[in-house]
Structure 1
Amino acid sequence: MKRASILNIKSNKKNMQVFSSAELKIKSITAIIVLLLLANITYAQDFKKFRFGLKAAPNISWLKPGSPNFEAKKDANKPALKFSYGLMTEFALSENYSFVTGLEVTTLGGSLNFPDSAYYISGTPPDNVFILTRRTYHFQYIELPLTLKMKTNEIGYMRYFGQFGFNIGFRSKVRADDRGKFTDQNFKDAPNEVEIPESLDISKDTQLFRVALNLGAGIEYNLVGNTALVISVNYNNGFTNALKKNSGVIMDKTIPTNNVNHLPLNQKATTNYVALNVGILF
């Protein structure tokens, strides 16, 4: 009996050791899982996954001619000071990478000098032929930026970042100021140039869509909590022709044979700009 009792005691001690070992393993695994969860929660709290804000951006914009009709006088194509504003939204992919989009109202401009052969009909005869020498454009687009934002870790209160992506724009309106001379159907030279101020709606002579490359660099300055002041400089390079390839209004009198059969002027120019963006992200 004593021997059986001793064997039972040894068996119980062995079972208790097994259970203690298993319990220790369970506790260890549980502790590791808790630590991992806490670490994950802490990491998730290090950055906000969604941010939004407002921005304003003065820009210097210009038209880059791509048609031989504009190339001869391209040095005289002047830039314009314009403005944009809108909503910024930022979706964090990680602490240092974000997908940035938004909705912006962007005004762009610039001037093009036309060849002496460009004209259109305006007003009533006899002197209703307007020889167009210069046109200043005033575009307005609704733009959707689609960019990747790459940020450094916080240095003091600042983060430095770079941006790369594209802008997709939809023209909402466009007007023009024209400079030129009125003459008759025989194209007799008129002595004085006149200006037609910003009253010409030329929507039918421009493209509806705009696609552009968007490159930028800037800083985020932490104000308090997740609120930050954002300042960046962005270069926006248009890919698409801003004008109708063959004008529906402007004719080219270098193409014979008579006034009626003159062909539409071939035109191509892209819109480009450099913008200073200032905004607040929440």
Structure 2
Amino acid sequence: MKKILTFSLIAGLMFTANAQDAADKKVLAGLTFGGAININDPQTNTIDSKVGGDFIVGMSLDWNFSKNIGLATGIEFDFNRFTTSYNEVLYLDYRDKDILQFKDYNPENVDNNFRVDSRKHKSIYLSLPVMLKFQTNFMGYMRYYGKFGVRNSFLLTTRTNNEGQAFNLEGDPAGVTELEDMKSPGAMSFYKGSIGIAGGAEYNLSGNTVLVAELGYYYGFSEVFQQSGAVFGDDEKALSLYQIPDPKKPSENDTRTYYAPSLKQGQLMLKLSVLF
């Protein structure tokens, strides 16, 4: 019986010492990965969008001001996916694997036209979360925390899969109904911002090493799609979708009106991290 009590006491002291190592360290950094459900909120009746998905990988950093308050930040890559469908007749011009923008338009050099019915967006963002973190003391080898702040995402690249119908110069349907993996500059806003709140738990594996599990919700406050006037020097030069008065004659480009869909995106996010 004495041996059992002695072993239990030693084990308890070891757990306390390990947790104390992690609690006393001012900076914890390591790898993080996770996923999110994209909750899309169209700001206009001209588009519809269901939920999408996001895969996240990167590095996390916790800087503790004290045992109970700190700053949570990091560098993460977001692989964002979602689909939109359109309730109005919209067209785009394309050349090989490139979707053309207004600045590429030349009435004397008419490119291929494509009516867009739905579009899958595949974007990669560099995200920099900045959040204030409040955490408990270690209870054994566990502690819990909550945090809130801003998630700043900057667009690195975007491509789209488009479904619809291509037309020739005479306005007759061509044999193309899909444009896949198209380069789509100007489709998405460079900056995507959200305000979030999250909570989680840290499990002390050994010494300074902790395993972190976190669930949070982030409310998107900025436009996901690039809007007219967002690029300095020309209100429409980066846009690519447009409307025309006669859908049977898509080649009559001199009367086109360029269009920017409006959508904001929230995220329900689950992340796992290993910090040292």
TM-score under structure 2 normalisation? Answer: 0.75
Q: Secondary structure at the match of 1:207?
A: coil
Instruction: Report the alpha carbon displacement of residue 149 of structure 1 after superposing the two structures with TM.
Output: 1.1
Q: Partners of 2:57 and 2:165 in 1: how far apart?
A: 37
- Structure 1 counterpart of 2:27, from 46, 50, 70: 50
> Any runs of at least 4 consecutive aligned residues in structure 1 with deviations exceeding 4 A, and if so which?
43-46, 123-127, 184-188, 190-193
Instruction: Report the alpha carbon displacement of residue 108 of structure 1 after superposing the two structures with TM.
Output: 1.2
- Structure 1 counterpart of 2:63, from 85, 91, 97: 91
Written as runs of structure 1 = structure 2, the 5 A alignment for 1:22-37 is none
- Structure 2 counterpart of 1:197, from 153, 170, 180: 180
Moved more, 172-181 or 156-165: 156-165
Assess if the C-alpha contact under 8 Å between 2:69 and 2:133 holds in 1: yes
Q: How many residues align?
A: 233
Written as runs of structure 1 = structure 2, the 5 A alignment for 1:173-188 is 173-184=157-168
Assess if the C-alpha contact under 8 Å between 2:93 and 2:111 holds in 1: no
Larger helix fraction of residues: 1
- Find the structure with the greater CA-based Rg: 1
Q: Does 1:224 align with 2:206?
A: yes
Assess if the C-alpha contact under 8 Å between 1:79 and 1:109 holds in 2: no
Q: What one-letter code is carried by the residue in structure 1 that aligns with 2:137?
A: N
Instruction: Report the alpha carbon displacement of residue 46 of structure 1 after superposing the two structures with TM.
Output: 5.1
Q: What one-letter code is carried by the residue in structure 2 that aligns with 1:251?
A: Y
Q: Deviations over 1:198-251 (max 9, x none)?
A: 2x1112222111211122111101111221100001222221112121362110
Q: Partners of 1:141 and 1:127 in 2: how far apart?
A: 30
Q: Runs of 5+ in structure 1 lacking a partner?
A: 1-42
Assess if the C-alpha contact under 8 Å between 2:239 and 2:260 holds in 1: no
Counterpart of 1:104 in structure 2 is: 76
- Structure 1 counterpart of 2:54, from 82, 93, 99: 82
Instruction: Report the alpha carbon displacement of residue 187 of structure 1 after superposing the two structures with TM.
Output: 5.2
User: Quick one: percent identity of the two aligned structures?
Assistant: 24
Q: Which has the higher contact order (CA 8 A, sep 6+)?
A: 2
Counterpart of 1:172 in structure 2 is: 156
Counterpart of 1:240 in structure 2 is: 222
Q: Deviations over 1:30-70 (max 9, x none)?
A: xxxxxxxxxxxxx9995211111111112222432113321
Counterpart of 1:4 in structure 2 is: none
Instruction: Report the aligned-residue RMSD.
Output: 2.9
The 1:187–1:211 alpha-carbon spacing in structure 2 relative to 1, beyond 3 Å, is: same
Instruction: Report the alpha carbon displacement of residue 126 of structure 1 after superposing the two structures with TM.
Output: 9.6
The 1:271–1:259 alpha-carbon spacing in structure 2 relative to 1, beyond 3 Å, is: same
Q: Does 1:149 align with 2:105?
A: no
Q: Partners of 1:80 and 1:204 in 2: how far apart?
A: 21
Q: Deviations over 1:158-201 (max 9, x none)?
A: 1111110001121110111101112345756x598822222x11
Q: Does 1:280 align with 2:252?
A: no
